[in-house]
Homo-oligomer: A and B are copies of this chain.
Amino acid sequence: MTKVNRKVVLSSPLDGVPTPENFKLIEEPSPEPSEGTFTVRHIYLSLDPYQRIAMAGRHMSADGKLDTGATPRAETIGQVIASRHPDFTTGDYVRSFGGWQEFSVSDGAGAFKIDPTAAPLSATLGVLGMPGLTAYASVVKLANIQPGQTVLVSAASGPVGGTLGQIAIQLGGRAVGIAGGEEKCAYVTGELGFDACIDYKKEGYGQALKAALPDGADIYHDNVGGQILVDAFSVLKDYGTVILCGLISQMNDLNGAKGFYLGLPIIKRAVMKGLVVYDFEDKRDEFFELVAPWVAAGKVKYKEDRAAGIESVAAQFSKLMRGENFGKTLVVLGPEKL
C-alpha cells in the first residue's frame, strides 16, 4: 500500500505578509516507519502567528531560516497508522509537530498521546492546547491574578486572549478585551462574557479604552505589540503587570519592527515579563484539569476558524497573518475516524 503524502513547501523567500504564492504543494510517497518510529495521519493542523517568525529563523523553535523547498513546522493532531515504536500503537491519537503535510513520521520526541474522549480533538490545539496553556501561564502563573483584579488583553477573540479573559473571570477577576471589528467585539462580550471589549479599528478607540477601565487595568497581556501595547500603557495601573507574549504586529516585518519606548514602563513602574509557553509544559496537566471541566460545562467557550484540505493551508495562514481570522486557526486534513 503506497500512500501519497502531500506537503506544503516554501517556494520563494518571504517578505512581509506571506501569500499563497510563497508556497507550493508537492507530493511524495507517504513515509513508512523505520524501527523505533511511527507514522501519523494528520487530522488537524494548527496555524499560529509564531510560525511566521519561525520561518524567518527568529523563533526559538527554529533552527535558522526556513529554506525554500522546506516544510514549515506546526503542531498537529493525528492518528497513528503504522508503528514500529514500543510506546505508540496503530489507532493512537497523538499531538505532535507534524508540520504542514498530511503524514509525518515521529520517533516519539515531542509526541504525546491524547485521550479522544477527554475533550474535542481539535480543542487540543486551541483552548485546551498551547494557546490555552499560554493564557493560563500568563494570567495565573506570571501575573498571579487575584479576585477583583482586572485584566486587559489584546487579540481578545483569538484563542489565547479569549481563553485568558475567561480564565480570569472564572477566578473572580474582570476581563476587558481589545479586538478588531464589531463582530469580534460582540463575540467577546456576548459569547465569551468579557466585561467589555474595545474595537481598535473604531474612531475614539483611546477614549473607549479609558471609559471601559476607569480604575485602570492591573494586568495587561500583550499579544500584538506595536501601537496597541503603547495604548495599553495609558490605562495600566501604576505598578501593574504586563505580560509580553506575541508581537504579531511585528511578525511580518521583522526588520522594520518598530521599537517600544521604555519610558512607558518606567513611568508606570510596570513589571514586564516575557512569556515563553514552552517553559510551562510541566503545568499542562494542572492547566487541563482546571480548564477542561469549564470547557465541558460551557463556562469557557472557544471558536475555530477552519479550512479544509492541505491545499488550503497557505491561504489560511496568509489570512491569519493579515489578522482576518476569527477564532483559533486550523486546517482539517482528514476525518477523526477512518
CB pair A274–B279 under 8 Å, yes or no, is no
Measured CA separation A258–B271 after assembly (Å):
21
Q: In the assembly, what is the distance between CA of A229 and CA of B266, in Å?
A: 14
Bound together, the chains give a CA A259 to CA B225 distance in angstroms of 12
A267 to B269, CA, bound (A): 22
Asked if residues B267 and A272 are in contact (CB atoms below 8 Å), the reply is no
For the complex, what is the distance from the CA of A273 to the CA of B271, rounded to whole Å? 5
For the complex, give the distance between the alpha carbons of A272 and B241 in Å.
10
Chain A interface extent, by class: 20 to 34
By a CB distance below 8 angstroms, the chain B residues around A259 are 258-261
**Contact call B261/A266, Cβ cutoff below 8 A:** no
- Separation in Å of the A205 CB from the closest CB of chain B? 21
Confirm or deny: A276 has a beta carbon within 8 angstroms of a beta carbon on chain B: yes
Whether A247 contacts B275 by the Cβ 8 Å rule is: no
28 residue pairs of the A-B complex, CB under 8 angstroms, read: A58-B263, A60-B267, A225-B262, A244-B262, A244-B265, A245-B266, A247-B262, A247-B263, A250-B261, A257-B263, A258-B259, A259-B259, A259-B261, A260-B260, A260-B262, A262-B274, A265-B272, A266-B275, A267-B274, A268-B274, A269-B273, A269-B274, A269-B279, A270-B272, A270-B273, A271-B271, A271-B274, A272-B273
4 other A-B residue contacts (CB within 8 Å) besides A259-B259, A265-B273, A269-B274: A60-B267, A257-B261, A267-B276, A271-B274
A residues sitting closer than 8 Å to B (CB atoms) are: 58, 60, 225, 229, 244-245, 247, 250, 257-263, 265-276, 279
